[in-house]
Every structure is written in C-alpha cells, then in structure tokens.
Structure 1
Amino acid sequence: MTTTARPNAAPGESRVITEIDGPVAYVSLNRPDKLNGVDLDTIDELIAAATALKENREIRAVVLQGRGRSFCAGLDFASAFTDKKRVARYFLAGPRLVNRFQRVNQVWRELPVPVIAVVQGHCYGAGLQLAACADFRFTTPDATWSILEAKWGLVPDMAGTVPFSELLPADVLMRLAMTGEQLTGERAVELGLATEVADDPLAAALALVEQIAQRSPDSVAATKRLVYGTRRGSLRATYRLERRLQSAMFKARNTAIARKAGAAKEAPVFGPRTFG
C-alpha cells in the first residue's frame, strides 16, 4: 500500500465527511469556519460515521482529522446549548453505560481497526477527548492541546477520563485538568498524550498504516480488543480474554495466510477481516 494525500472532495453541508480511499477511511470534521467546534449534530454524525465503518471489513485504518486550520477547538457551547431539552437527553445515560456525549468518543475505541487522529491547530476540550479516544495521535509541533474544561469550571468528560488516565500519570493529568494549561504538540508527545510529532502528521500516520496493513487484519483487531479489554480487569479476566482471542486467531483464515507467507518468506496477501 502506498501513502496518498488526503482526498480533496469539496466540502458539503455535512458536519462530518467520510471518504474511503483504498484501505483507509478518512473521517473529517467539516466546520472549518468554527474551528470544527462540536455541536449536537456533529455528535450525531460522528456516531453514525463510526457505526457505518464498523461494518466495513475491507478498510484497514481510520484517519480522524479536521478540515481547515484546526483539528477541533472543543464544544461549540453557543450552538450546542440552544436546545436545552436535547442537551438533557444526550446527557442522560439511563440503563446504558455511556450517554451520547460519551458515546461520540468511546465508539472509536470499539472499531476493530486502528483509529489515528491527525492534529493541527487547536485540539481543545471535546476535540482533545476525541483525539484521546483514537488509538494513535499524530500532531504538528505547533498544534495547541488543552484539557480546556477547567476554564469553564468543569471536569474532563465525553469519555476522555479513561484514555487520559491510561496515557498520563495522575499528577500530570490533574495538573492539566485543573489548570487547562496549553501544550504544544511537541510537549504533548513528551508527556505521552500524543503519539508522534511531525511537520506532516498525515504522512506520518499513513506510514504507520502501511506498516500495520502488512499484518493480518484479524490479529490487528484482536490486539486492539486485547489491549483495551485488559486495562482495568483482574488478572483472571485478563488471561481469560487473552486465551479467548488467541483461540479465535488460531482459527482465523488470515492467520493461515500469514503463516504460509512467513514460511515461504513472501509478503502475505490478506482477505477481508473476519474478526470483530
């Protein structure tokens, strides 16, 4: 697979645009005039995009990005809170584990393919939580990152608490969440909040996709589930999940393809993902 430039389809009225270019799905926030601020319609469209991609067994990775000069400047309060009844519905979890504000970010962790956030410009609040719920985060050196909720007297939310606590030591997380301190992309990488810094983060992200695409899509999907599924469980639950996933991999068609190609010292040609 060769790296390609981001598709340049003309923006439409949708707040979220999904474009599939070979094995890569590009999901773009499309409110550049608002620095891709998140409103309630954006939440709906992001969830719909992720739900549709979950059923696509041909793609090998998802790139999350923002059109224009910013990834996402956070929640667009002025727009999102015009309909207070709708906000209340989205905030209530009811019998579900997460509410809709949390679901919009958690859903990317559930995709059976790697999700890579490509960050430039602003990465604030809801935007940072979206990036944190991706599996990898590539950023320009001069991008600005901030857990901005402190500015408004709030705590981190929208499912960001889980990845923040995985990526950062407790004292670092509390400092950033209590102050809303702004970080450069370089500093975000130093702290472990971002994965890699690059002048062209999209090219760096696609280089990683190219590496991952050389492996079985089933083992990639199972690895993602294994890592997230064992973060907070007991040892017994962790080892049980490890055994169950490995058993599934032994039976997977793409595993046989990988073994055969490895024995022949040839590049494997995998079929569609069968796991996840």
Structure 2
Amino acid sequence: MSLVETTVSATGIAAVRLNRPDKLNALTLDTLAELVRAARTLKKDRTVKSVIISGTGDSFSSGLDIATTLRTPGRIATAFVPLPWRGTNLFQEACWAWRRLPVPVIAAVRGHCYGGGLQIALAADFRFATPDSRWSVLEGKWGIIPDMTGMRTLTELLGADVAKKLTMTAEEFDGATAQRLGLVTEVHDDPQTAATAFATGLLSRSPAALAAAKRLVNGAVTGSARRTFARERREQIRLLAGMKRTGSGMKRPGDRP
C-alpha cells in the first residue's frame, strides 16, 4: 500500500493523499520520501494544473510518527543531511517540494493537523479547513522546534511574535481560530469539495500568470523591495512576450509555462 496516493483528473487537478488513516496519517521517513517523489513527478507532468493535498480518513496528519522513526537512527541521520544543490534535507524537502511546483497547491484539512503535518499544509499556497479541525505546532510539546521549513512559513504567514508564541507554547486550536490567525485561507464544512471548486475555477486562468504570481509572492516575502521590483519586471516581460507569440492576452487553459 502506498503511503502517498496520487491521481490526476482529466482536467489536470492532481489529488495527493496521505494514506495511513489507521495512524491518523502520522509521518514516517518512507512517507516523507514518497511525498518528495510525488511532488517531483507532478512537476514534470505538463498536464497538471493544480494540486490538492489531503489525508485519507478523518485527519490530515497527526505529525511525525516518532516511535516508528526512532527505530532506524541511521536513516534519521541520513535524512538530516541536506542536498547541496537544493539546500534541503528529506524532512524539509517533503514540504518545500510543493513550493517548487509552478502550479497552485491547496491543502484540504480536516481532523488533526499537527507538527510535521502542519508544516506540510503551510507549504501549500492555500489552506482550506473545517472549522473544527485541530492545529498545533506540536514540536514544542516534545522540547524541539519545527524543522520541516515551518519556521519560514510560520513567520511568513503570522509575523514573528505569533510564530514564536505558537512554537513556544505548542497550544492547540481549531480551524476557525487558525483562520483568524492567518494560517487557514478559508473555512468550509467540506474542504475537499471547496478546494476542488477553487482549483476548477483557476483552470480558466493563464498557467503562466499563475506560475509567475506564485514565484513573485513567494520571493517578495523575504526579498528586498529592489529585488522584488526586478523580479516583477522580468516576469511581466516574459508574460507579455508570451501574449505576443499567441496573439492574445490569454494562453489556452491547457498550456503550462
């Protein structure tokens, strides 16, 4: 049984599901490796227009399965080593790989969204969640810190003070509170259906423009104003050149940048 199930619809909406429902989709090293492979495979698939990440069963993910992971200390040591050409180790790449995709990525969250699971959700461009879903930067409970790119994404979304508070206290809160804090984009009773509707709506937009928007916003968060302005110019010139080639202001919905 695959720990990460991936399917792509006829319209190009990819569904990525954490598939360990009997363990609340707790993460193992094998799960992380499968997440990285799934992201890289989808990045190469030119038919993919958007991605929805969710969990099979009643939870998104309860976080790292510490007991299972600690049984293989050698693998943990290897997983901590970053790849020099990417700058991320296995734990980090399982999240950051979704930031590398040129298409919108949506996390559909119900049930538990703890620790490493929360960091995967934060790596998505959008998060749709049920109002009663449960969120926590759970690492603080065990005397550790989020190290799967969570320090970057928490600070981007919340600001330094709130990111510190949630990391230090490991407090648990519901999806409605997560939306008020800025972690959740929208609250829905059925986040999977809402995410699919949102992804379907984006099919009418230029894939090149969506990819440019994603790159620019992600880069603007930590880059200087001057660097952001230069990136804006480069992206706009690329988009305008594409419009000139196609003779219109819109690429075909099926096109990818």
TM-score (norm 2): 0.95
> 1:134: Cα distance to partner?
0.4
Structure 2 unaligned spans of 5+:
none
Q: Which of 51, 75, 79 does residue 64 from structure 2 map onto?
A: 75
Q: Which of 144, 152, 162 does residue 154 from structure 1 map onto?
A: 144
Structure 2 residue aligned with 1:251: 241
Look up the SS of the partner of 2:249 in the other structure.
helix
Matches within 5 A, 1:86-101: 86-93=75-82, 95-96=84-85, 97-101=87-91
RMSD: 1.6
Contact 1:32 1:68 in 2 (8 A): yes
Whether 1:270 and 2:225 are equivalent positions in the alignment is: no
Structure 2 residue aligned with 1:17: 5
Structure 2 residue aligned with 1:223: 213
Size of the aligned set, in residue pairs, is 255
Contact 2:203 2:253 in 1 (8 A): no
> 1:157: Cα distance to partner?
1.4
AA aligned to 2:128 is F
> 1:211: Cα distance to partner?
2.3
> 1:94: Cα distance to partner?
5.9
Contact 2:243 2:249 in 1 (8 A): no
What do the CA deviations read for 1:196-232 (whole angstroms, capped 9, x no partner)? 1010111211222122211101110111011112221
Q: Which of 190, 205, 211 does residue 201 from structure 2 map onto?
A: 211
> 1:257: Cα distance to partner?
6.4
Matches within 5 A, 1:38-49: 38-49=27-38
Distance (Å, rounded) in 1 between the aligned partners of 2:90 and 2:144 = 18
Q: Which 4+ stretches in 1 moved above 6 angstroms?
A: none
Contact 1:254 1:271 in 2 (8 A): no
Look up the SS of the partner of 1:106 in the other structure.
helix
Structure 1 residue aligned with 2:19: 30
Distance (Å, rounded) in 2 between the aligned partners of 1:35 and 1:271 = 36
TM-score (norm 1): 0.88
Distance (Å, rounded) in 2 between the aligned partners of 1:35 and 1:28 = 12
> 1:255: Cα distance to partner?
8.1
Look up the SS of the partner of 1:123 in the other structure.
strand
> 1:44: Cα distance to partner?
0.6
Q: 1:234 to 1:255 in 2, by over 3 A?
A: farther
Distance (Å, rounded) in 1 between the aligned partners of 2:135 and 2:182 = 12
Q: 1:62 to 1:90 in 2, by over 3 A?
A: same
> 1:269: Cα distance to partner?
4.2
